[in-house]
Amino acid sequence: MPWFDFIPLNIVIGIILLWIALGVAGLIAPSNLQYVTRALLPLGAAAGVALAATAFAAMTQDAAVCVLPLGLPDLPFHLRIDALSAFFLALLGLASAGVSLFYAGYLRAGEDNSPGLTCLQYHLFLASMAAIFVADDGYLFMVAWESMALSSYFLVTSNHRDATTRSAGFLYLLIAHVGAIGILLCFGVLQAGSGDYTFATMRAVEPASAGWMTVAYLLALFGFGAKAGLLPLHAWLPEAHPAAPSPVSALMSGVMLKTAIYGLLRVTFDLLNTQIWWWGVLTLALGLVTALFGVLFAAVQTDMKRLLAYSSIENIGIVLIGIGLAITFRAFDMHALAALALVAALYHCLNHAFFKCLLFLVTGSVLHATNERSLGRLGGLIHSMPVVAWLALIGTLAIAGLPPLNGFVSEWLLLQAFLLTPGLPNSYLNMLVPVAAAALALTFALSGYVMVKFYGVIFLGQPREEKLKAAHDAGGFERLGLLWLAVGCVLLGVLPVPIILQLGTVTSQLLGASIGDSVVASGWLFITPIAPERASYSPLIFLVVIAAVVLLVFLLVRAVYHGRVRRGAAWDCGFPLQTSRMQDTAEGFGQPIKRIFEMFFRIERHEPTPFDSAPYYKSRTEDRLWYWLYLPVARLAERLSGWVGVLQRGRIHIYLIYSFATLILLLAFAR
């Protein structure tokens, strides 16, 4: 068998098959919880780790291909592993390992579907994502892509008795399907009439003209954007993520969105040989809008999972900004800078996978402990579930982009890329890009705001409900999963240099350039994208200094003075009748944002007047795009189907007239 001579690819295939096997194994004893959670899911996690290791190794080796005797007769399954796909495989493996571990502790009997079925759908989801990353022809890619959409759809709707869940699932699958159609068309353009849908051919041939290339790129942007939650195709995201069980939301947000990024990169830099600069500008602009939109809506959410979903939209926007910069630089042959921007984007993908999975899993633990999703009924959980709280703190700081954690690294790299734009030969861009940088900075700052709200309202303060005091901390497997991801966040934050070096292989594959050598120039301790005197950052020193100072100060204070502590009632300016209702709610945190950025939202507010006998406050914040884009399309479809209904009015004479007219017309036409 010819495909057994190159190791990594075979291992990847093996792991894909293993995942499928684990899923099917779940059906053997569908209702046996122990069997699923203690055997299958941990095995899946182990497979994830193995996948990550393999892929990490494969990144430095050169691309390998193989052909499986499956698929269409004249288009068998082509598989290929290169630096790009290996990177995303590693991401999948690392994130899924944590999520699977968590799921082993999270899964309960009698909830939604039977454990076995869930196990099947979950592992098929993993397998299809892995298959996407190694697919090397249009057909396999589409098969894997849609299988991913389907399996995740079933996971999303696993609590299908709830009507909102159903509608969310439907919206999700619909948009996914529309996007898939766009991707299919994109491949159709890329194969440029050769009729061969292997990626190898698409690399070789070029669309006829720049116009067709642009069409291909736009189709890809549309198709993959629909999956990534790019504006204005984001509508499914804040619906589907909250509806799904938390580990699934984690995987969807942390990894599935990245498949779209992968696809976009694959098409833009690999299948298309040349890029046009304004593609980059377009992507950059869209990314900015998406990021700002996401973070603003995240700031006004009152449901913790919706909040995280919107924050995912924001992060995807940031990644797209990086890609846009990379395209622009690339189009102007500034390869080193393109590499820098791309590294920033990829690094952010990795980071987002970690901290977003972590936070979604945290919401899962909170959900199981309290049965509450609404921020308005949470609070003070740091006392009842300290482990989760402290791990969640890491995720929160990371996603808020604070040094020395991982979120900051990618932000830092991205801002560096922006600062180095003045080299661009187009004066307009020179003027505009800094403004974009400003908007990006605003996004970062806002995400800090959002995350303080998220963490503070859930874990800090007084419990807003009595029952919260009884909340229990997460179990062993859950903690393990959370820990895995949290450690990942810290390591990625503190030791970025090796990762960046590894990413060099990806950039040199896609752009023929890498920032690796300039990074190693000043040792593993410092990131120096271009040169030490231009910019450098060393999270480790950063961390060490702060830790040292904290320790020193602590000891000094103890030594010189004392460590005495007394407990008393809260001071609060001496106000004695303090209740938990008096703290700021999530609503309250959203209020300034609503007020400052009013034009972004569609707000229905009822505010009490001083004269109300029964005063109440009510406010619904909605997405304008829903009313501007989605509803009109739906209405149009309805109207059309109303029109065709006229064709069938039940009168046989009319039907006969149809046949008659058809006959006459054709006769007239045929002679």
Partner 1 sequence: MNLPLSAQLINLMAALLLLIAFAMLSQRRILSLIYLFAWQGAVLSANTLIVAWSTGQPHLYYSALITLALKVIVLPWLLHRLIVRLDIERDVETMINIPITMLIGIALVIFAFNLALPIAQWAQTITRSTLGIAIASVLLSFLMMITRRKAVPQVIGFLAMENGLFFAATSTTYGMPMVVELGIALDVLVGTFIFGIFFFQIRETFDSLDISNLEKLKED
Partner 2 sequence: MIEAVLSQLFQTLLAVLLAPLMLGWINNCRAWLQNKSAPGLMQPYRTLRKLFHKDAVLAHNASSLFRVAPYLIFGCMVLAASIVPAIETNLPFAYAADAIALVGVFALARVFMALAAMDIGTAFGSLGARREMLVAFLAEPALLMVLFTPALISQSTSLNTMVATLGQREFALYPSLAYAAVAFVMVLLAENARIPIDNPATHLELTMIHEAMILEYSARHLALMEWAAAMKLMIYCTVGIALFAPWGIAAAGDWQLLPAATIALVAKLLLAGGGLAVLETVSAKMRIFRAPEFLGMAFLLGVLGMLTHFLLER
Partner 3 sequence: MEILLVLAFPLAGGIGLALFGHRRYAAELNSLFSFLTLAAAARLAVQVVDRGSFVAWDELFFVDPFNVFLVALTAFVSFTTTLFSRPYMRNEQAKGKLSPNMMRLYHSMYQVFCFTMLLALLTNNIGILWVAMEAATLATVLLVSLYRTPASLEAAWKYFILCGVGIAQALFGTILVYFAAERVLGSGGTALLWTHLYGVKDQLEPTVLGLAFVFLLVGYGTKVGLAPLHNWLPDAHAEGPTPISAVLSGLLLNVALYAVVRSKALVDGALGTPLAGNLMMGFGLLSVVVAAFFLSRQKDVKRLFAYSSIEHMGLTTFAFGMGGPVATFAAMLHMTVHSLTKSAIFFVVGHAVQKTGTQQIDEIRGLNITNPTIGWGLMLGTIAILGMPPFGVFASEFMILTTAMRDHPWATPFLLVALGVAFAAVFSKTQGMVFGDTTAQRLPHSPALVPVFVHLALVLMLGLYIPPYLAAWYRQATQLFG
In whole angstroms, what is the distance from residue 270 CA to residue 220 CA?
Answer: 13
Residues 545 to 584 in contact with partner 2, rule: CB under 8 A:
545-547, 549-550, 553-554, 557, 560-562, 564-573, 575, 578, 580, 582-584
Count CB neighbours of 139 within 10 A.
19
- Which residues lie below 8 Å from residue 462, measured CB to CB, with a gap of 6+? 379, 380, 579, 580, 583
Segment 285-344, which members bind partner 1 (CB under 8 A)? none
The nearest distance, CB 659 to partner 1, in angstroms, is 8
SS3 64: strand
Which listed residue (660, 665, 666, 669) binds partner 1 by CB under 8 A?
Answer: 660
Cα distance between residue 463 and residue 299, in whole Å: 21
- Asked if 665 is part of the footprint of partner 1 (rule: CB under 8 A), the reply reads no
Query: How big is the site for partner 1, counted in residues (CB under 8 A)?
Result: 17
- 537's contact among partner 3, partner 1, partner 2, none, with CB below 5 to 8 A by partner kind, is partner 2
Q: Which 617-646 positions form the footprint of partner 1 (CB under 8 A)?
A: 645-646
Structure tokens belonging to residue 89? 């495989």
Per-residue x/- marks for partner 3, 178-217, CB under 8 A? x--x--xx-xxx-x-x-x-x--------------------
CB contact set of 585 (below 8 Å; sequence gap of 6+): 302, 375, 376, 457, 464
541 lines the binding site for partner 2 (CB under 8 A)? yes
Stretch that binds partner 3, among 53-61, 63-71, 257-265, 327-335 (CB under 8 A): 63-71
Residues 6+ apart with CB under 8 A from 671: none
Q: How far is the CB of 638 from partner 1 (least distance, A)?
A: 14
User: Can you tell me the distance from the alpha carbon of 204 to that of 194, in angstroms, rounded to the nearest whole number?
Assistant: 10
Residues 377-406 that bind partner 2 (CB under 8 A): 379-380, 382-383, 386, 393, 397, 400-403
Q: Which residues pair with 527 in a beta bridge?
A: 537
569 is an interface residue for partner 1 by CB under 8 A: no
C-beta of residue 105 within 8 angstroms of C-beta of residue 368: no
**Cβ neighbours of residue 173 closer than 8 Å, sequence gap 6 or more:** 149, 150, 153
* N residues, the chain: 671
Q: Which is nearer to partner 2, 214 or 583 (CB)?
A: 583
Contacts to partner 2 from residues 439-458, by CB under 8 A: 441-442, 444-446, 448-449, 451-453, 455-457
Q: Identity (one letter) of the amino acid at 196?
A: D
For residues 442 and 627, what is the distance between their CA atoms, to the nearest angstrom?
27
Nearer to partner 3, 89 or 132 (CB): 132
Range in contact with partner 2 (rule: CB under 8 A) among 26-34, 407-415, 485-493, 502-510? 407-415
CA separation for the pair 125, 115 (Å, rounded): 15
Rank residues 122 and 537 by Cβ distance to partner 2 and give the closer one: 537
Chain centroid to CA 285: 19
Is 21 a binder of partner 3 (CB under 8 A)? no
Return the one option of partner 1, partner 2, partner 3, none that residue 653 interacts with (CB less than 5 to 8 A, by type): partner 1
Helix axis angle for 335-370 and 476-494, nearest 10°, is 160
The region of 170-178, 275-283, 532-540, 650-658 touching partner 1 under the rule CB under 8 A is 650-658
Beta strands in 179-338 (DSSP E): none
Nearer to partner 3, 431 or 670 (CB): 670
Nearer to partner 2 by Cβ, of 163 and 573: the residue is 573
CB count within 10 Å of CB 183 equals 24
CB of 66: closest distance to partner 3 in angstroms? Answer: 16
Asked if 1 touches partner 3 (CB under 8 A), the answer is no
Q: Which of 70, 657, 665, 666 binds partner 1 (CB under 8 A)?
A: 657
**CB distance 454 to 396 below 8 Å:** yes
In the bound state with partner 1, the residue whose beta carbon lies nearer, of 555 and 663, is: 663
Chain contacts with partner 1 (rule: CB under 8 A): 645-653, 656-657, 660, 663-664, 667-668, 671
